C-alpha cells in the first residue's frame, strides 16, 4: 500500500480523471496543481492573477510560488496520510523540492506512474474536454459524456471548456511538457519509482492498470 503517488503524463493523458478515482479508492487526497491555480483565479487572488498570465500562454507558473502552494496543500489534514499528486511536480526543480520536503518529514514518494498517450490523441481529448465548475470533474463530449448534456454527473454543477484547451495553447502546452516535464521520467526511473501505463484504453482499464502499478 503506497500513500504518496506522483501521477505523470502529458496534458490530456487522463491524470485528473484517474487521480480522482485512485485517490478515492486509496482514501487519500487528490492534489491537482492546475485546480489550485484555477481556484485562486476564480477567487481573484494575486496568485491567481499571476498564474493566469502563464496559463494563458501554455507556460509553467514559476517554481517558487508553485512549490509553496503545492507543499501547503499537502500539509493540510486530509493530505497528511497520503495524496495522489496530479500536475505537480512539473519541473526538475519542483521534483527535487518535493523530495527534500518529504525527506525532512521522514516521508517519500512511493511510486510515479506515467500515463502514456500519443500526441494526436491528446489533441482530440483536450479539444472535447468539458470540466465541472464546482468539483472539477473532467468529461469529454464524445469519449466520456455526462448523463445530462452540460451538467456534472457527480454534483450537478455546470460544465465549461477551459480557455487553455484552445488548439494554439494546447500546442504550446505539449511543447512545454516535452521541454520541462518529460525529464522527470528519467528522474523517477533512476529512483526505481516509474511505472509505465498505457493510457489509450478505456478509463476503467487504465484505472485497473494504475492500481496494479502502484500496488493500491
187 contacts ligand ADP (rule: CB under 6 A): no
Instruction: Check 15, 38, 125, 193 and give the catalytic one.
Output: 15
Judged by CB, which is closer to ligand ADP: 12, or 82? Answer: 12
Output the DSSP codes for 139-199: EETTTB--SSTTB-TTT-PBEE--GGGSHHHHHHHHHHIIIIITHHHHHHHHTT-EEEEE-
Site for ligand ADP in 51-90 (CB under 6 A): 54-55, 58-61, 66, 87-90
Strand 159-160, strand 129-132: pairing: antiparallel
Q: Is 195 a catalytic residue?
A: no
Distances (CA, A) of 124 to 22, 128, 161, 196, 214: 24, 6, 14, 22, 28
Q: Which three cell numbers stand for residue 94?
A: 519542483
187 binds, among Zn ion, ligand ADP, none (CB under 5 to 8 A by kind): none
Q: How far is the CB of 196 from ligand ADP (least distance, A)?
A: 15
Q: How far is the CB of 155 from ligand ADP (least distance, A)?
A: 16
Q: Is 129 a catalytic residue?
A: yes
20 contacts Zn ion (rule: CB under 5 A): no
Judged by CB, which is closer to ligand ADP: 67, or 216? Answer: 67
Judged by CB, which is closer to Zn ion: 91, or 137? Answer: 137
Report CA dihedral (32, 38, 43, 48) to the nearest 10 degrees.
100
Instruction: Check 4, 38, 73, 129 and give the catalytic one.
Output: 129
3-state class (DSSP) for residue 129:
strand
Instruction: Check 80, 162, 196, 201 and give the catalytic one.
Output: 162
- What is the residue whose three cell numbers read 519509482? 193
3-state class (DSSP) for residue 104:
helix
Q: Is 162 a catalytic residue?
A: yes
DSSP state, 82? -
Site for Zn ion in 131-150 (CB under 5 A): 132, 134-135, 137
On the question of a cis peptide bond just before residue 89, with omega within 30 degrees of 0, the verdict is yes
Binding positions for ligand ADP, rule: CB under 6 A = 9, 11-17, 33-34, 37, 54-55, 58-61, 66, 87-90, 94, 125, 128-129, 138-140, 143-144, 164, 173, 202-203, 206
Q: Which residues are catalytic?
A: 15, 90, 129, 162, 173
Amino acid at each position: 500500500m503506497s500513500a504518496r503517488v506522483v501521477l505523470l503524463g502529458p496534458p490530456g493523458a487522463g491524470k485528473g480523471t484517474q487521480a480522482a478515482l485512485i485517490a478515492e479508492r486509496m482514501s487519500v487526497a487528490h492534489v491537482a496543481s492546475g485546480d489550485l491555480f484555477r481556484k485562486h483565479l476564480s477567487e481573484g487572488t494575486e496568485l491567481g492573477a499571476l498564474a493566469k498570465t502563464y496559463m494563458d500562454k501554455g507556460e509553467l507558473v514559476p517554481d517558487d510560488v508553485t512549490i509553496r502552494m503545492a507543499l501547503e496543500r499537502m500539509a493540510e489534514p486530509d493530505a497528511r496520510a497520503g495524496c495522489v499528486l496530479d500536475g505537480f511536480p512539473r519541473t526538475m526543480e519542483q521534483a527535487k523540492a518535493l523530495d527534500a520536503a518529504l525527506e525532512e518529514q521522514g516521508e517519500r514518494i512511493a511510486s510515479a506512474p506515467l500515463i502514456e498517450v500519443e500526441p494526436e490523441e491528446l489533441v482530440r481529448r483536450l479539444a472535447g474536454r468539458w470540466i465541472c465548475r464546482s468539483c472539477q470533474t473532467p468529461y469529454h463530449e464524445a469519449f466520456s459524456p455526462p448523463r445530462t448534456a452540460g451538467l456534472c454527473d457527480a454534483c450537478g454543477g455546470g460544465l465549461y471548456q477551459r480557455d487553455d484547451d484552445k488548439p494554439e495553447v494546447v500546442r504550446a502546452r505539449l511543447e512545454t511538457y516535452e521541454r520541462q516535464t518529460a525529464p522527470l521520467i528519467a528522474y523517477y526511473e533512476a529512483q526505481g519509482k516509474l511505472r509505465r501505463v498505457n493510457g489509450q484504453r478505456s478509463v476503467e482499464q487504465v484505472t485497473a492498470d494504475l492500481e496494479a502499478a502502484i500496488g493500491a
